[in-house]
Structure formats: structure tokens, C-alpha cells
A and B are shown apart, each in its own frame.
Chain A
Amino acid sequence: MTISNAPESPVVIKVNDVSKRFVIRKDKSLKERIVNFGRSNKHKDDFWALRDVGFDIQAGTTVGLLGANGSGKSTLLKVIGGIIQPNSGSVERRGRLAALLELGAGFHPDLTGRENVFLNGSILGLSRKQTEEYFDSIVEFSEIEEFIDTQVKFYSSGMYVRLAFAIAVHVDPDVLLVDEVLAVGDERFQEKCMDKIREFQQEGRTIVLVSHSSAQVEELCSRAVVLAHGNVIYDGDTEGGIAALRASFGA
């Protein structure tokens, strides 16, 4: 793939030959490890979740990561987000990065909605002042005004996710990593989320999206990267990507 160096689309993410190997140990406790000492290879499984994956992402593009279950797309997203370090290769990134990997990961059930907004905002990189500024708008977007001072453990799952999504979209990211979370809330709220994503695209934000929904990828993405067994098997426009994905199921 050629990298266009046009000034209007600088590269924001460079994935350089990233490999990630997972070692799965079956013996967790000290006793088991001592008992199995020396035979430890039998109790280890390893496999390559990613193998020499490399590509660049330009600012303002929306990239869909596609692949069958276990093809390494979520791992790749985590490596891009810095949550997992690769075994070899490196990831270079710039700009403010926000990850919508799992909504509400930072929520504490015993705290109120209001306290969680501040906590989660801070986790996603907002300062206290910024959170205060956005607070009303966050609550308005989430549509749970009356419950904002209730502990979140009493929230319904829809309310929980709506509040989390509202915080995440107010973080003002340059790069947004999204993992299968756009199907949240009721239909109307989903529509609202989609509108927000389109608004993000208009504003030139970069979005990297993991999805199993071909329709969603077709609708939102300008580029598709298809993974199979930790390798990139396709990188290009979305129609070709979806075709390659279907082909990889057959293989």
C-alpha cells in the first residue's frame, strides 16, 4: 500500500510488523507449577494471535477491522490502544486516543452516576474542569437526568451503557477505537450513536472499528482490513473487504 503524504491526511497510526504470541498456562497455582516443574511445556499452549501485521492509518479515515472469531482483530485493536504490548514490532500513534472497547469498564457500581462521570471522564483523559464543562451535555445525551445521583448498580443495562457512551463521545478524541459496542440501547439511541459517529467523521476524527456486522462496516467505513489467523489477508475498500471476509469463512 502506498502512503499518501498529502498535508491534509497525515498518518496517525503506524503498525510496524506487529506480532503477538499468547501463552496459555493451564497451571495457575504455585502447587501446580511445582508439581509440573520441568514438564511445564506440556502445560503451556501458545499461539500467534498476530503475525507480522503492518499498515498505516491516515487521519480522517474510518477503518473497519474484519475477521472471523479468533482472527486477532480485538487483539490488534488492543495493541493499537497500548493495552497489550506486542512481542515484536511496534505501534506508533499520535493525537488523543480514546478506546470504546467496553462501555462502562471504569464504572464503580457503588458510586452514583455523577461520581462515575467524573471518574470515567478522568480515565478517558479529561481533566476535572473539562468534565464539569461537558457534564450537562453528557447527561443530556445519555437521557438519564433523573437518575444521575443514583448508584449505578441500580441502573438498567441500557441506562448504564447510554451513560458510558455519552461520556466516551465527549472525550474529544482524535482517534477512536471501537469494539463491537455500537449496538447499545434501544433503536432510537442506536440511531443517535450512529449520528454521533457520522458527526465524528465530518470532524475529521479517525475511527478504527471492529465489527461483525457487514452492513455497519459498509455504511461507516472507507477502508477495510481483514484478518485471518493473525495475518492481514485483505486491505482495501469495504466491498472487497466483505467479499474477502466471506471467502475466509469458507477456507
Chain B
Amino acid sequence: MTNQAQERATRLAALPFQTSEPVGARHIGAFFRSIKEIYEHRELLGLLVRRELKAKYKDSSLGFLWTLIKPITMLLIYFVAIGQFLGAARGIPEFAIFVFSGLTLWGLFSEIVSTGTGSIVSNAGLIKKVYLPREIFPLAAAGSALFNFAIQFAVLLIATVVTLQIPWSTSIAYVPIGVLIAFIYGVALALLLSALNVYLRDIQYLVEVGMLLFFWASPIVYSWSYVVDAAQRTGLTWLSEVYLWNPITLAMLAFQKGMWVAGSRDNVMGQDASGADIVVPAQPWPADLDLRLLIAGVIGLVLIWVCQRVFSRLQGNFAQEI
């Protein structure tokens, strides 16, 4: 036996055994062990995020511009069709800023969930051949979504400067909170759905439908005040309460409260036939928004824990089910 071999043998003899056992343990320690394992693979996570970003637009001549073309097209569509034709812009001051901030945060959430859902299946080649903590695939999808969000967010900031709607107030603190909540729920859903999608491919189509539903169930192209008005008009005030249970609604409200300053003050929106000013009052932000955000955040963290546990129970059979 060579020296090198001897050294290796002594080193190996001192190492503890790592065990792989049938079913993932259920207690809380297993969750933190997974977190630790993911943390140890953070370099790989970074590389996977870059791979996603690089490979996505690799052979297109416009490249990263495409990440902006889609949301700007959506902005134009909603601005013209909903804002001007349907007249939502008459009741929502600085409608362009409003819609674009909604679309930006929505883009983050929907991209995490929809690309995250397919992430395990689309990395089948790796999962079947190499052991890695599989959570990094949905997380890499979340990472690349975060990058695209950052670009859109920069455009949004520039737009607020150009239109002199600079979001410089204490409400700016709501922006990271809104982003965080959208991110937490996005990651939790991506973990759960990516694992389920391995066993039931229908999930990815279900996600498309679910996303459509979530989009219109959140104040993105219409404002919160419309929901309050509709609830009062019909006398179904509990409906606006139910509407607020949607965590994406809460994230959206927090984000808009920070980014869309025109929503927090009374605005004069032209004059009526008699020459009197038409005043659109400030958004009736829910009084206990802070508390609701806190609760949504805590529930979101618990949800991540639950989804990760489900994920780790399901991942044992990924390699043969894909």
C-alpha cells in the first residue's frame, strides 16, 4: 500500500458514517439539517441560477431585453384596455405606476411558482444521476426570478423618478416586506408543487389555471378601493375581509403602499361638467395592515416548513418516478 493510500485510510477511519435511511425523519431537526445541506451547496445554487439566466436567452439577439419586453407589453395592454377603455384610470391616480408596480411584484411570484413547479422534472438528468439536495432546483428557479424582478424593479424606480412620483416616504419600508411575503409564499408553493409534479404531471397545467385565478384575485390591475366599494355597494362587507386573506393581496398592498405614493393622498382627477373638482380619495389601506402582514409572514414561514417536509418525503422516489 502506498503512503498516499495509507494516509487516506487513516483519514477515512476517523470519519463518522453518514446514514441514508428509508423515510425522512419528521422532527424539526431534519428541517434544519436540510437547510444546512442547502447552505453547503450555496456555490452550486449560485451557478444554477446563473445557468438558468444565461441559458434562457443564450441564442437570442435581444437577450436580457426580453425580460423587460413582456412586462412592458402587459403594462401597455392594461394601461390602454383597462385604464383608458374601461376607465379604471379615472379612479386610480398615476395608473401606469400603479399597474407596473403590481405587475412587477406579480412577475416575481408567478415566475417562482411556475418555473419552480417544473424545475425538478426539467432537471431529471441530474436528479437521476447525482445526489444533491434537490431543494436547490426550485430555489435556483426562485433565484433567477429574483434577478428578473430586480431588473423590473429598477425600471419601476426610474419610472417613478421620470413621472415625479418618487416613493420617498416612511411607507417605503413596506416595499421589502411585500417582496418578502411574495417570495416566501412563492418558494413554499414551488417546493410543494415541484415535488407533486413529479408524480402527477397535471400539476403544471393546474398551476397555469391557479395563477390566472390568483392574478385576478389580487389588486394588480384594479385597486383595493374598488374592492371596498364593491363590498359596500352589495352589502357583503365580509367579502373584502375574505379578499384580504389572500397573502398575495397583502403583499401587493404593502408593495403598492410603498411604491405608489399617489395612492396615499387625495387626488384631483379633472373637473366635472359644472367645473367642480373630481376628487379621488386616498386608498382605504386596511387599518391593521401591519398586523396582517406579520401574520401572513409567520404563516408563510410555517408553510415553508410544511412544504419542505412534504418535499423531503417525496424526494426519495424522484429518481425512479421522473
Contact = CB atoms under 8 A, between A and B. Distances in A.
A91 B20 contact: yes
Nearest to A128: B43
A205 to B, nearest CB: 7
Contacts of B47: 118-119, 122
Contact of A90 (B12, B20, B51, B200): B20
Question: Which of B12, B15, B43, B58 has the most A CB atoms < 10 Å from its CB?
Answer: B12
Interface in B127-146: 127-132
B22 A88 contact: yes
Contacts of B15: 94-95
A111 interface: yes
Interface in A19-63: 22, 28-30, 33, 59-60
B1 A85 contact: no
Given A101-B129, A105-B130, A92 B19 contact: yes
Given A84-B316, A92-B18, A119-B51, A8 B129 contact: no
Nearest to B315: A85
A174 B8 contact: yes
Interface string B1-40: 1101111111111011111111100000000000000000
A69 interface: no
Contacts of A105: 125-126, 128-130
A7 to B, nearest CB: 6
A106 B21 contact: no
Contacts of B316: 84-85
Contact of B5 (A29, A151, A202): A202
Contact of B9 (A7, A119, A127): A7
Contacts of B237: none
A65 interface: no
A111 B6 contact: no
A185 interface: no
Nearest to B6: A8
Given A60-B1, A83-B128, A110-B55, A22 B320 contact: yes
Contacts of B11: 95
Nearest to B45: A122
Interface residues of A, number: 52
Interface stretch (A9-17, A132-140, A230-238): A9-17
B43 A123 contact: no
B13 A7 contact: yes
Contacts of A82: 20, 131
Nearest to B23: A85
B132 A123 contact: yes
B8 A203 contact: yes
B12 A94 contact: yes
B128 A94 contact: no
B265 interface: no
Contacts of A124: 130
A99 B131 contact: yes
B131 A81 contact: yes
B180 interface: no
A90 B319 contact: no
B22 A202 contact: no
Contacts of B90: none
B17 A14 contact: yes
Contacts of A111: 51, 54-55, 58
B118 to A, nearest CB: 15
Contacts of B200: 28-30, 33
A78 interface: yes
Given A105-B126, A110-B58, A85 B20 contact: yes
B84 interface: no
A93 interface: yes
A110 B13 contact: no
Given A85-B316, A93-B17, A7 B131 contact: no
B317 interface: yes
A123 B20 CA distance: 19
Top 10 closest pairs, chain A to chain B, by CB: A204-B5, A85-B316, A10-B13, A105-B129, A92-B17, A82-B131, A94-B15, A122-B44, A110-B55, A30-B202
Interface of B: 1-2, 4-13, 15-23, 43-44, 47-48, 51, 54-55, 58-59, 125-132, 200-202, 316-317, 319-320
18 contacts: A7-B9, A8-B9, A10-B9, A28-B201, A30-B200, A59-B8, A60-B8, A90-B20, A92-B18, A94-B12, A105-B130, A110-B54, A110-B58, A111-B58, A119-B51, A123-B126, A128-B43, A202-B4
